[in-house]
């Protein structure tokens, strides 16, 4: 059966202004969308101004593409523009929440047992720098994740609870805001929603990873716009072995209380935001700086 799909173009522009000028910079960009069974990268271009003195691209341990570049000339501005065209496939069209393994069965497979086979997904069942295992989050999520319940149905209910209990509030937090504070104040941005649900799942013995990407800026006619559509977005995926023929991971967007279909473009995945930061680096000079980020995602006809 042919899966439905949609072509999307994405332009992600990051601009730094430095005062005084910077005389050296080393940066890593994680901006190239993934290409796998769920989406196909048709075109990608990374433009950097000023022109880097050197650059290279490699894959990290999570399968993400990273571009390293160095600037050894004085510059008062840095512009990084990633332009992509991606064909996104509907991976979960036949999903039945009441089928598949139970929460208890998945927990058992992830738990350490001497002599038992190692599940690679267990890497995503432990605490990470931005996702501590908080008892309060275990208590919050555990009633929805009993051993006997089908995992898919359980995590969808948890997603709904988070989307209902927490408010999306632009600029209400930043990356330094502790997860415990987000939980206490009941509001945050998309990365907080993702970290929060990941922490809930890991605290209950399940595996979940952080996903960075983009949302369609202009929704189809009759569809409401999704929150976080005009910038980089974040959601998560939970390990659900045997989900379907091609997938062992189920994507969940708690910010919008939805299972990603044709409006989400995946760029990178890791333990948390720290593994997939779009652009990071070190500079010499530039006592003060300004940062402007613009993301535009649009439909593309006839991408395939």
Fold of 103-275: C8orf32 fold (3.10.620)
pLDDT value at 1 more than 60: no
Query: Among the listed ranges 131-135, 157-161, 218-222, which one has the minimum average pLDDT value?
Result: 218-222
Model confidence band, residue 228 (pLDDT cutoffs 50, 70, 90): low
pLDDT value at position 246? 63
| 50-83 tens-digit pLDDT | 999 999 999 999 999 999 999 999 999 999 999 9
The proportion of the chain whose per-residue pLDDT surpasses 70, expressed as a percent, equals 94
Under CATH, to which class is 5-89+277-300 assigned? mainly beta
DSSP the chain: -PPPEEEEEEEEEEEEEEEEEEEEEEEEE--SPP-SSSEEEEEEEEEEESPPSEEEEEE-TTS-EEEEEEE-S-EEEEEEEEEEEEEEE-TTTT--TTSS-BHHHHHHHHS--TTSPPPGGGGGGS-BTTB---HHHHHHHGGG--TTSBHHHHHHHHHHHHHHHSEE-TTS--TTS-HHHHHHHTEE-HHHHHHHHHHHHHHTT--EEEEEEEE-SSPPTT-PPPTTTTS-EEEEEEE-TTSSSS-SEEEEBTTTTB---SSEEEEEEESSGGGS-SEEEEEEE-SEEEEEEEEEEEEETT--
Model confidence band, residue 301 (pLDDT cutoffs 50, 70, 90): confident
> Structural domain boundaries of the chain?
5-89+277-300, 103-275
| 235-276 tens-digit pLDDT | 999 999 988 766 799 999 999 999 999 999 999 999 999 999
pLDDT value at position 211? 98
């Amino acid at each position: 059966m042919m899966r439905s799909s949609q072509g999307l173009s994405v332009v992600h522009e990051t601009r730094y202004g430095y005062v005084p000028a910077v005389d050296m910079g080393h940066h890593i960009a994680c901006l190239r969308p993934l290409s796998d069974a769920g989406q196909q990268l048709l075109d990608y271009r990374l433009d950097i101004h000023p022109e880097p003195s050197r650059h290279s691209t490699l894959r990290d341990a999570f399968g993400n593409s990273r571009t390293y570049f160095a600037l050894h000339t004085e510059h008062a501005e840095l512009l990084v523009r990633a332009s992509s065209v991606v064909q996104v496939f509907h991976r979960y069209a036949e999903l039945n929440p009441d089928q598949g393994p139970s929460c208890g069965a998945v927990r058992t497979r992830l738990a350490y047992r001497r002599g038992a086979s190692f599940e690679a997904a267990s890497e995503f069942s432990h605490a990470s720098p931005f996702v501590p295992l908080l008892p309060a989050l275990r208590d919050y999520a555990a009633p929805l994740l009993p051993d006997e319940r089908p995992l898919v149905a359980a995590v969808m209910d948890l997603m709904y609870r988070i989307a209902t209990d927490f408010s999306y509030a632009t600029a209400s937090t930043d990356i330094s805001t502790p997860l415990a504070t987000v939980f206490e104040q009941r509001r945050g941005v998309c990365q907080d929603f993702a970290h929060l649900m990941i922490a809930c799942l890991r605290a209950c013995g399940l595996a979940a990873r952080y996903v960075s990407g983009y949302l369609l800026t202009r929704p189809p006619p009759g569809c409401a716009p999704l929150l976080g559509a005009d910038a980089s977005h974040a959601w998560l995926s939970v390990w659900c072995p045997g989900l379907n023929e091609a997938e062992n991971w189920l994507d969940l967007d708690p910010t919008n209380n939805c299972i990603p279909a044709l409006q989400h473009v995946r760029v990178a995945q890791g333990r948390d935001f720290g593994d997939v930061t779009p652009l990071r680096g070190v500079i010499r000079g530039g006592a003060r700086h300004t940062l402007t980020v613009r993301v535009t995602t649009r439909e593309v006809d006839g991408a395939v």
